[in-house]
Amino acid sequence: MSHPRLNLQQILILAFVSISTPLGDACLKRGMALLPPISLAHPLSLIAAVFTPWIALGIALLIGYFASYLTALSWADLTFVMPATAMGYVFMTLLAHFWLHEAVSWQRWLGVALITAGAGYVTHGPANTTPPVNFADAIEAAHDVHAAQGVAAEQEAQ
Amino acid sequence: MIDPALFWKATAMIAAVVITSSAGEVLTAAAMKSIGDLDEIRAHSGMKGAVRAVVTCPFFVIGIFFMAVAFFSLLFALNHMNLSLVGPAAASLTLVTNTIAAKIFLKEKVDRRRWTAAVLVCMGVYFLAH
């Protein structure tokens, strides 16, 4: 059985799902680090934090992540999207090392290699193994049923 | 020697995160499968039509509810245990339970390739956390 390959737009959506979470989290971390400590006694200061540039950017990226994730699930299996988008952990480690200048141990680099291998392996297989829902087909099928019912009724009348 | 009461408490908290998280993700995936290709819907009915199709799907609403429960379960677990234990345990086990649930409930064809990928990512997440 042959499976259609992902088109460029679908590859870009999977890539965005992967990079938007670590980028969003890094923006939130950077934004929160710039603010003074927030206590539960002053919860309104948390709302004010939402409007600071880094945190607003982080929230926008996480909203974009969720929209892209849902889009990916509409044309690919969950068991395909999960490992394929696990590259986010890899980007998170790269961001931590190169942007936030955190030390990355060899165990974490091994983790990065394993995730990359898993993501690369699954994306060489089919994205969808369940019958796709197609509205045009569904409408056509409904017309066919309607037409068949009409023919049956005509035959009964004759 | 680990205190058995503490062990079972930690197991229950991690299990709550994993089960609610899996339920949320599988229900959301079921919703998106029942709706169809969002790119096609957006091309046909515009962005408003696509958003309406998603938010009016009952599976999506229940899925979001479970995701919210999973988030608060995670916060509760983090309040009692270290992130270095809860984070990788929840992320790795959710991958495995999602794969099993997708095979049973979503009828996805989980072949050797997908199991291998899930296990590789699981191990990768474990090493990333150490």
Q: What digits encode the pLDDT tens for the residues B9-65?
A: 888 989 999 999 999 999 999 999 888 888 888 888 888 888 898 999 999 999 999
Range of the domain at B119: 4-128
CA–CA min distance B108, chain A (Å): 6
Blockwise average pLDDT, block size 10, chain A, 158 residues: 70 91 82 77 78 91 92 90 85 81 86 88 82 51 52 66
Provide the residue ranges of all domains of chain A, joining segments of one domain with +: 8-131
Residue-averaged pLDDT of chain B: 87
Q: Answer whether B125's CB lies under 8 Å from B93's CB.
A: no
Hey, which residues 92-111 in chain A have their CB within 8 Å of chain B?
93, 105, 107-108, 110-111
SS3 of B90-127: the string is HHHHHHHHHHHHHHHCCCCCCCHHHHHHHHHHHHHHHH
Work out how many CB contacts closer than 8 A connect A with B: 133
pLDDT at res. A148: 58
Count how many domains chain B has.
1
